[in-house]
Amino acid sequence: MAFLKRKERTKERFSLLLLDLEEYYFEQHTAYHVTTCSEKERKVRGSFKVCSRSVIFDPEDVSEPILKIPLRDCKKIEFVERESNPFNDPRPSVISISCVQAIYIKESNVIAPYRNERGAKKVTFQLEDWSKTEDVVQTFLQLHRASCLEKLGDQTAMIAAILQSRLARSSFDKNCFQSMAEKPHMECAVEMVLPLVSNPGHVCITDGSLYFQPLNGYPEQVIQIRLNRVRRIYKRRHTLRPLGLEVFCSEDDFCSDIYLKFYKTADRDEIYYYIATFLENHVTEHTAESYMLQWQRGHLSNYQYLLHLNNLADRSCNDLSQYPVFPWVLADYSSPQLDLTNEATFRDLSKPVGALNKERLDRLLSRYRGMPEPRFMFGSHYSSPGYVLFYLVRVAPEHMLCLQNGRYDHPDRMFNSIGDTWKNCLDGATDFKELIPEFYGNDCSFLENKRNLGLGRRQNGSLVGDVVVPPWASDTSDFLQKHNTALESQYVSEHLHEWIDLVFGFKQRGSEALAAHNVFHPLTYEGGVDCDSIEDPDQRIAMLTQILEFGQTPKQLFTTPHPQRITPRFHNMTRSPSSNSPVSDLSPASQSEDSSFEDLTEESRKLSWANIGNLKPISSHKIHKEAVSGIAVTRDGAAIFSTSQDSTLKMFSKELKDFQRSMSFSNMALSSCLMLADGKTVVCSSWDNNVYFYSIPYGRRQDTLMGHDDAVSEMCWFDERLYTASWDSTVKVWQCPSDSSSNHKRSQFELLAELEHDAGVNTIGLNPAGTLLVSGCKDGAVSLWDTSSYTALQQVHCHTGTIHHTAFSPDSRHVLSVGADSCMKVTDVQTGMVISSVKAEEEQRCFCWDGNSVLCGGGSGDLLLWDLLSNTVTKRIPAHSGAVTAMWMSKLCSTVITGGEDRQIVFWKLQS
């Protein structure tokens, strides 16, 4: 299991899990447990543990039980001096404890419920080092006073003071450094967090390693993590406060290498930023949006994506109150065969577990309506320490015993059958739990009682053994394999975003949560209560305990609807599996075009983009007097046209390597140009509010479209329709015949639509099918339009400054935009959600992209190759001496032409 796969650092029977919750282990001494029977003295050697709320003796002889005496049950703790009578054998000093209860653990070295022996008892311990006996007794007397205080808050405060005093009197031993050349950066007191327990000590970070030294030397003297092995670090919310830091030396495993809880947020942040600075050269910091983009495009499995979201939402395998949460995805646990092509096989992922059964939901809603504020629908949570250990008791029995004061749950309430557990989650009055990652892993041990634990006998007389798997699984291993296949299935891939909306997204709280019947107790939500504001210590501790044991809702990662995954579809699948309506233009199915030519070029494009960093400049030419604003190329690639702010349209001959024509339509700047489908007409937009049509065969202006009240900024062409964007805050759509043989007359330019914006429009783009239009405005807004109805689909204010360029991905799923705020934003077309945001060092003015990689021109004049999946610049290519202002790329991506403020046009060739 996740937190049990940690490398074993000790072979001791003793474990921190033998302590009470919120108890600390301070020190240990070699000692003897002395008993007298029939006037004969018997000594059992072992380890004597000084703990904040108990005395624990761990015998070396494993057939002997571990003895635990709670300090609150002690009536007298005294130091008995050694006998100095010269006529008798010398008797060493001992510790004598009179108590009313003793707890025996691991009798016969078997993990089993603890045996409590009540009644007056006197226990004697003799330390091997006699000289320390009196000091140990004084420590116990101090801890005994704390345990006997009437108020729990006073007990906790006194023990905390004792702990801080011990930490202050000690420091990190620098002799433990791996190398004497290491330079320490800082050290401070911390606690190492493990499931249900924590261990105090000191952390020290150097220029090469992170060290943790436990105060008690358990489980080893020092734990070292080399900084060059670290791959991910996360700030954590621990006990509802920003004090945690979790360090991972792997990319995908969700079991960390160390989880530290600091006493001061400032200390946590200093170490976090020190490691982050150290890592920035070889580790990418991922966001929920960047993982979403990878998942959407199939680079992450559903399982991997859910793990990453859990990590980002403060879920950790070291914190059972915030353990990673996974969904039930199946609803069929009774059929002999599992049919993953049948929608009825699956659970409705758009509803929380509590809303899956309508009859139960109606009862809960009736109670909810009559409830005083604050109201909630579900009185228990979908993830809590009790639920996690309910599933894991067979592999983590000591954790369950720790959580439940040395007892297992009633045999009939234990995890006995997967089908029965699902049925109870559907019908039970208080059971709304989801699953944990182990249900989709490959280790089936948590479903099998391999240790032969005595978990009890059920009412039907059967012993609690292995978990019963559904009929469609031959054994536990087969169950996990099929269950994982279900998680990655077509249906789940298409609907998983709905469950993410409930657990991590916009339906987690507020009116959307209410509408989705997804309302839990207020204490479960981040920020639901400020424990530090509760003045009464007892009330504060009680509140904190309630929150931690009840369960916590994950940190909210998304505040807008989560986009659907892009899933491959078969040609015969023309309808959505969740509805009877045809799939819309925005769905994955609409992108499957049956064109063998396109398939061939798609492979070529993928190959070219994989090597796009190998662009080499072929030639450069200064043919304009001002910045280049647009580039268009004839179908055969023989002639290149460019527009400039110098008001000219120039024609460059690729064969002659020189410009051949220069045209000027007005004395104002030209802002863009494009080639019509006939390959014989170039269209230019101008700051003089007009659009000019230039005939290549005739070498003259053919027509003028006076269409706007301000500068025309950019144009698009599709299927005899011309789209013009203007600073007059409109985009206009014109019916415009492309046949150059007909005489274009102004009367032939029929205005089909006028798309209103709130600010001047700087840039527009069409998706490959011509069904969608994107526009980018001076106020930082990106708008999406349906070109059949000319209606606005989305408007997203995603930039803080003007937008320079925007374009669809080849599959029409996403839009990329760049602006004056130096940000690159990827917006999901379906939901309007910004799913990736990259802050660049400079403004990006223009780009080409394939959906994953971006070749963009920056303000410095360099071409930058960005990998959006990792949010990193993978290559920087020097190009122009001024900002890159225009870019053109061939269909197969083998040729790129760029223009810049330096008035240059540069030709690039992709080298194989």
- How confident is the model over 10-54, as pLDDT tens digits? 457 999 999 998 899 999 999 999 988 767 888 999 999 999 999
Element spanning 785, H or E: strand 781-786
Which pTM value belongs to this model?
0.81
Instruction: Report yes or no: 686 and 672 within 8 Å, Cβ to Cβ.
Output: no
Query: How far does CA 585 lie from the centroid of its chain?
Result: 30
Q: What is the pLDDT of residue 835?
A: 85
Determine the pLDDT at residue 348: 97
Mean pLDDT of 672-699: 92
- For the chain, which residues make up each domain, given as ranges? 2-167, 171-285, 320-550, 627-847
pLDDT, tens digit, for every residue of 518-550?
A: 999 888 888 766 666 777 777 777 777 777 778
Residues 153 and 198 sit within 8 Å (Cβ to Cβ): no
The structure tokens 């995954």 sit at 565
* pLDDT at residue number 112: 95
Residue 744 has pLDDT above 60, yes or no: no
Mean of pLDDT values over 264-280:
89
pLDDT at 241 over 60: yes
pLDDT averaged over the chain?
Answer: 88
pLDDT at 741 over 50: no
> What is the average pLDDT across 597-603?
52
Tell me what the mean pLDDT of segment 875-895 comes to: 93
Mean pLDDT in residue range 319-333: 96
What are the pLDDT digits (tens) for 407-454? 999 999 999 999 999 999 999 999 999 999 999 999 999 999 999 999
Give, in degrees to the nearest 5, the angle at Cα 122 between 120 and 127.
155
Query: Where does residue 844 rank: exposed (0-12), middle (13-18), buried (19+ CB within 10 A)?
Result: buried
Is the pLDDT score of 611 beyond 90?
A: no
pLDDT exceeds cutoff 60 at 894 = yes
Q: Which CATH class is domain 320-550?
A: mainly alpha
For residue 457, give the DSSP letter. Answer: B
| Residues near 62 by beta carbon (within 8 Å), at least 6 away in sequence | 13, 109
Q: What is the pLDDT of residue 748?
A: 75
List the beta strands (DSSP E) in 696-771: 700-706, 712-718, 721-726, 730-735, 750-756, 761-766
Alpha-helical segments (H) within 340-487: 358-369, 385-392, 397-403, 418-427, 476-487
∠ CA 484-490-492, rounded to 5°: 60
pLDDT value at residue 280? 64
SS3 content of the chain, % helix, strand, coil (to 5): 25, 35, 40
Burial readout 476-485 (b: 16 or more C-beta within 10 A, e: otherwise): beebbebbbe
pLDDT at res. 482 = 97
Residue at token pair 């989709």: 440
**CA atoms of 645 and 676, how far apart (whole Å):** 22
Place 86 in a pLDDT band, splitting at 50, 70 and 90. Answer: low
Q: What is the pLDDT of residues 174-220, one digit of tens each?
A: 999 988 889 999 999 999 999 999 999 999 999 999 999 999 999 89
Q: Own/partner pairs for 462-467, CB < 8 Å, 24+ apart?
A: 464/411, 464/414, 464/416, 467/394, 467/415, 467/416, 467/417, 467/418
Which pLDDT tens digit goes with each residue over 494-504? 999 999 999 99
Percent over 90 (pLDDT), the chain: 70
**What is the structure's pLDDT at 83?**
62
CATH no. of 171-285: 2.30.29.30
The pLDDT score that the predictor gives to residue 89 is 59
256 contacts 48 by C-beta, under 8 angstroms:
no
Could you tell me how far CA 672 lies from the centroid of its own chain? 41
Q: Is the pLDDT of residue 70 over 90?
A: yes
Separation of alpha carbons 691 and 672, rounded Å: 10
Q: What is the DSSP track for 211-259?
A: EEEETT--S-S-EEEEGGG--EEEEEEETTEEEEEEEESSSS-SS-SEE
Mean pLDDT across the stretch 707-736? Answer: 95
**How far is 652 from 673, CA to CA, in rounded Å?**
14
pLDDT digits (tens, 9 = 90+) for 126-158: 999 988 999 999 999 999 999 999 888 889 899
Q: Tokens standing for 562?
A: 């989560």
Q: What is the pLDDT of residue 254?
A: 73
> What dihedral angle (degrees, nearest 10) is formed by the CA atoms of 304, 308, 314, 318?
50
| Average pLDDT score over residue span 81-102 | 78
Is the backbone peptide bond immediately before 561 cis, with ω within 30 degrees of 0? Answer: no
pLDDT, mean of residues 796-816: 94
Quick check: 509 and 556 in contact, CB under 8 A? yes
Residue 567: per-residue pLDDT: 72
Place of tokens 């802050």: 839
Determine if residue 519 is left, alpha or beta; phi over 0 gives left, psi from -120 to 50 gives alpha, anything else beta.
Answer: beta
Decide if 737 contacts 748 (C-beta within 8 A). yes
pLDDT of residue 390: 96
What's the rounded Cα separation, in Å, for the pair 679 and 634? 6
Per-residue confidence (pLDDT) for residue 601, from 0 to 100: 59
* The pLDDT of residue 545: 74
Decide if 2-167 and 171-285 have a common fold: yes
The candidate with the shortest Cα–Cα distance to 55, out of 22, 29, 81, is: 29
| Average pLDDT rounded to a whole number, residues 565-582 | 43
| Residue written as token pair 């379906």 | 830
3-state secondary structure of 834: strand
Q: Which residue carries 């905390």 as its tokens?
A: 160
Rounded Cα gap, residues 566 and 267, in angstroms: 42
DSSP-H helix ranges across 6-80: none
What share of the chain in percent tops pLDDT 70? 91
Nearest Cα neighbor of 796 from 779, 781, 807, 809 is 781
The mean-pLDDT minimum among 277-286, 298-307, 627-636 falls in 277-286
Enumerate the H helices of 313-384 as residue ranges: 358-369
The helix/strand/coil state of 439 is helix
Q: Kindly report the CATH class assigned to 2-167.
A: mainly beta
User: Which of the listed CATH numbers 3.90.25.10, 3.30.2310.20, 1.10.630.10, 2.130.10.10 matches domain 627-847?
Assistant: 2.130.10.10
Helix-then-strand count for the chain, H and E: 14, 42
Kindly list the strands in the beta sheet with 658-664, ordered across the sheet, starting from the edge strand earlier in the chain. 628-633, 639-644, 648-653, 658-664
| Phi, psi dihedral angles at 535 (to 5 degrees) | -75, -40
Query: What's the whole-number mean pLDDT along residues 653-670?
Result: 84
Rounded alpha-carbon distances, angstroms, from residue 685 to 628, 648, 668, 899: 13, 11, 10, 17
**H/E stretch holding 494:** helix 490-503
In whole angstroms, how large is the CA radius of gyration of the chain?
A: 35
**How far apart are the two ends of the chain, measured CA to CA in Å?**
46
Strand-pairing partners, residue 124, are 34, 96
> Mind listing the pLDDT tens digit for each residue in 821-831?
999 999 999 88
Q: Are 691 and 729 in contact (CB under 8 A)?
A: no
